[in-house]
Structures are given as C-alpha cells and as structure tokens.
Structure 1
C-alpha cells in the first residue's frame, strides 16, 4: 500500500504531546477489522437482584496486563496503518487486540495503539545499524571480515531489551504501525511472525495512548496508559525455525522461560492465544489477546517497566 506518513518527533518541552500524520483521511475513522477474532473479556456480567443495580464486573477486569520496558527501538506513532508488513517476508500474522479499562471493565474506544517488532532475521526498522539481526536476508550484511582482537567493551543496548531509547539510524519503518480502537475496543494489525535476536525471546512491543484527539491530521495529545510486550509460546516458535526466512537466523535463540522481560504469568504477562494449522504454520497465524489497562495511569515504559505484573486494587489481581 502507498504510505505517505511522516515521522513525528517528541517535543521535549511537552512530553505528553503527540502528533502524527495519517496516510489518508479514511484512516482516522474507527475500523473493526478482525474484531470477531479478539478475545471478549467483558462476557459474563451478572445482573443484580435489585432493579437498576449496576452489574458486577468480571474479576478478570481487575488483573492489569503487565507493564514492561519500552526498549531502545520505539519511534513515536510514525505510521497510521493496520498493515505494517511492507516488504518483509515471513509467516503472515494477524494480531487481533481488545483494550479494556480495569476500573469500568468497559472497552477503551478511540485509543491509539502502537505495535512494533523485529523481522524474521532480528532487525528493527529505523535501527538496522544497531539492532541485533542474526542472519541473511533481513538487514545489512558485513562487508569485511573482523580483524585483530577487540579492546573495548561492547556498546549498544543490553540483550535484555533495556538500555533506554536510541535515536533512529535509518529512515526505514517496516513492521511498525498505529491504529485506532473501535467502539468495542478492538484493533487489528496485519504483519509477519517475528524472529529473534540476541538475549530476547520472540516478542512484539505495544503501547496504548488515551485521552488524545483524532483529527484529519492524525492523533494529538493524551498520555500513554500502557507499555507492554506480547509473547509467543515455544511450540509455535519452534514450528517457524525450519522455514524461510527464519531458518537463516543463526543467532542462538532465547526461550520463553529464559527471557528476562516476560514475567511467566501467561495472558496477564502478554502471552498471545495463537491459532494456526499445526501441520502448516506457513499458511498464517492468528494471535489474539485482551489488554487490560488503567486509563488514568501513565505507563510510558521509559523508566524500564518491570518484569512483574502491574499492581491492582482488586484482591483478585494476584490470582493466576
């Protein structure tokens, strides 16, 4: 698809201000694509015995989705689009999300949801010179053989995904995009199954922005209420490793249980529910999850987030 979106820059004098330029006027409208695939976390409300009594919300609404670090490779709402694939090759992935408010258990409509992730070889767009690709076909290949003995300590972000935000090193923007939740809190993206790089399991980054304004020019203002990551079960990842282009990724893979960011809490920690043909994952994968957020909170992930699930006022928050 043709995309004329322009990179937005953070304003250091107003860190809550966000502005993006949309691909076209039609992208400012809410779209429910793929909403039927998303997990419905609000089902099961019970009516009280008294007339006009407020329904009791499901306990799951009080379990906030884990906050994590933003990581070094975020670019602020650069492309307003649902199909973020561009020229990247890999197993087709449809990512169906639903955003729910933890206090009201109601869908969060008109939120701006950002996702970004590496390609099958481990490279991030905008950061091909510094991200940790591990094979051919996805990023810049070395032109010279290394010589001599290294004398300096390694530079760049640590393998765990922290290290603070870095400035982009190139103008590529594949596998990045922002889209608007519909009135049911649904938002869907088309992309490819991510690969892996040194020190991290397979994952997708996500941010949810609320209280801003959608205009013909894009999305402005508001604040980031959630910064997290989505994860993939080991069986699905292993199924990709024998297929092109994933098979060319020679980096040693970190498993889900070895990862330093995933908190091992399942759905609450961002583990996706995946559907695909067990005998032919190459046909495509559907990943879905409900993201439960505190719309009044600010969680921009710039302070490193944390591996533990977010705290909650509900006594059921710590339940598995």
Structure 2
C-alpha cells in the first residue's frame, strides 16, 4: 500500500480507474481438492441467527398471504471496491494462513432484498488487512502500523525551513483513504483473502483473524457477491457482481482488540467508526457486524454475523 492509495495513510477519492469484464469472471482454484470442497454444502456450518430467522419467517408469511409487496431486508449499502481487490482469489473458507491475531469466524447470509429468499450458489469474496494494516499482494505499497523502530536517527535536522513552497497546488490530489483506482499486485501472497459458495440457505462461513487498522480508515473487511455465474472445474465463471460492500466492527470490540498483541504494537493513529468516510452510520444496512465475544478475554475469538440484502438483478462492482 503506497501512501497514494486507499489502503494507506492518506485519504483519497474513489474513482473508476480500473474496469473489468464482469461477464467472464474466473476464480482460480487453489489445489485440485478445492472444487470438490465447494460442492460439499455440509462443510458450511453456519445458520441464520434466531432474530434473522424470525424476521424472514414473518415476512415470507405476509408475502404468501398477498398482504405485502414489502421487502424483508433493506438493501445493504454499496461501497468502494478499493485498490486492493484481486479477481483470482483462492476458493477456501479458512483464509488465515497462520497470520497472528484474534481468531474471527465470519458468518454471512445473502438474501434477495426483494423476495427475502436466500441467494443460493453465489460466490462471496472477502479480503482484509492483517493485524498491523498490511494487505497481501501489496506489502510494498503498505505503511502498516508496527512498533516504531528503536534505532531512529539522532542527528535529525533542526530549525525552520527557509524554502517553503508558495502558490496553489495543481494536478490530481494524492490517493489513499477512501478508494481510488485498482492497483496491480506486487507480490504473490494471498493471505486473508478467499472466495466461497453460499449454500441452500444462502449462508457461507469464513475463518480469519480480527483485522487491524491503518491511517485514514476504521477497521473493516471488504466483500463482493457474484451471482448468475457457473461453478466449474476451473472455479467460478460468468455472471455479474451484484454487491460490493464492507463490513465494520463496533468501537468496543476494536478498543479491546487494541490491547492484544500484535494489535497493541501498532503505532498508527486509528480512525474511529464515526470518523470513517466509507461507513454510512446506518448500522446493519451499512455493514455493521453483529459480534459475539468474551468482553473479559476477546483474544479467545470473535464471531461476526450479518445478513446482506442484495439486488440480484443489479451490477455493483464498486469501481464507480
């Protein structure tokens, strides 16, 4: 993450700098057993929460009696894709790759917001930074937030500079913070990234770590939902991206995580949830996760869950 991109230290406006042909999307299979695993719906040990199940049941009953043309879930907010999406993630549920951090189980459910029915066989991508704010594939661009070096120079210049520039700056502003065009990967690492298939209940579960933070952004996870494609021996092909969004964590959980290593070694100024320029402050609709953890010992692990209401007929690739 350079200082010139979203996932860095300087905010930037989002822009449609990188376009993709979404009609022929392919996900590269990581190993011969990956596709076989995709077909094993029994491997997805996730179910809707009790309150979601109750809400879905009541709304479906209303629709069945013809009393409502209403939706049972609001459309989940669309957000920027960001510069660090890689359109060839591994088909897997466990994306940790031995990264250090608080264990995170992410339980997602994808619902058609117009019908309240589960979206089956959708491809769901997630990706996020590590505990110190670095993204796989882009370490050379990353600032991160590790412990400050102990061998800082002692002969730093002093005094006031005499050659301060004057005038109004011209050209494009520096990138960073909120979005920006896509950046091509600079390494082959792919930790904390993955793609998996929703089951007959529209559910998918990922295993990861609680994300860290970097300057200009609150703690978050990126996601995409792809529909109308085909699962083949080569992965997932065709269809369109109907949702591009981000998941967020409440302040209490982030403050508790900041007391646990390696998060506690970060020297980066943290952007709070209310200060973030991407989160729209709308709660669940905006991507705020429902979290479960031991407040006295968050290091034991966190379970985050959310139901995403999507428009399966729309194309929302997050680049505009």
TM-score (norm 2): 0.81
Q: For the Cα contact (< 8 Å) 1:30–1:110, is it kept in 2?
A: no
For 1:81 and 1:300, the matched residues in 2 are separated by 22
SS in 1 for 2:139: coil
- Please name the residue that 2:258 is paired with: 241
- Please name the residue that 1:42 is paired with: 56
Where structure 1 has 5 or more consecutive residues not aligned to the other structure, the ranges are 1-10, 304-320
When the two structures are aligned, how many residues end up with a matched partner? 286
1:184 aligns with 2:201: yes
Please state how far the C-alpha of 1:46 moved relative to its aligned partner.
5.8
Sort the Cα spacing of 1:46 and 1:221 in 2 relative to 1 into closer, same or farther, 3 A: closer
- Please name the residue that 1:167 is paired with: 184
Sort the Cα spacing of 1:161 and 1:249 in 2 relative to 1 into closer, same or farther, 3 A: same
- Please name the residue that 1:100 is paired with: 111
For 2:38, which of 28, 34, 43 is the aligned residue? 28
For 1:167 and 1:142, the matched residues in 2 are separated by 33
- Please name the residue that 1:87 is paired with: 98
Q: For the Cα contact (< 8 Å) 2:60–2:116, is it kept in 1?
A: no
Sort the Cα spacing of 1:103 and 1:164 in 2 relative to 1 into closer, same or farther, 3 A: same
- Please name the residue that 1:18 is paired with: 25
- Please name the residue that 2:72 is paired with: 60
Sort the Cα spacing of 1:241 and 1:21 in 2 relative to 1 into closer, same or farther, 3 A: same
Sort the Cα spacing of 1:214 and 1:147 in 2 relative to 1 into closer, same or farther, 3 A: farther
Sort the Cα spacing of 1:187 and 1:57 in 2 relative to 1 into closer, same or farther, 3 A: farther
For 2:23 and 2:151, the matched residues in 1 are separated by 42
Q: For the Cα contact (< 8 Å) 1:22–1:28, is it kept in 2?
A: no
For 2:89 and 2:60, the matched residues in 1 are separated by 42
- Within a 5 Å distance, the mapping from 1:260-275 to structure 2 comes to 260-275=277-292
- Within a 5 Å distance, the mapping from 1:1-320 to structure 2 comes to 14-23=21-30, 24=33, 25-31=35-41, 33-36=44-47, 38=49, 39-40=52-53, 42-45=56-59, 47=61, 53-54=65-66, 56=68, 59-61=71-73, 63-136=74-147, 158-303=175-320
Where structure 2 has 5 or more consecutive residues not aligned to the other structure, the ranges are 1-17
Q: For the Cα contact (< 8 Å) 1:157–1:163, is it kept in 2?
A: no
Sort the Cα spacing of 1:142 and 1:224 in 2 relative to 1 into closer, same or farther, 3 A: farther
For 1:89 and 1:256, the matched residues in 2 are separated by 23
The structure where helix makes up a greater share of residues is: 2
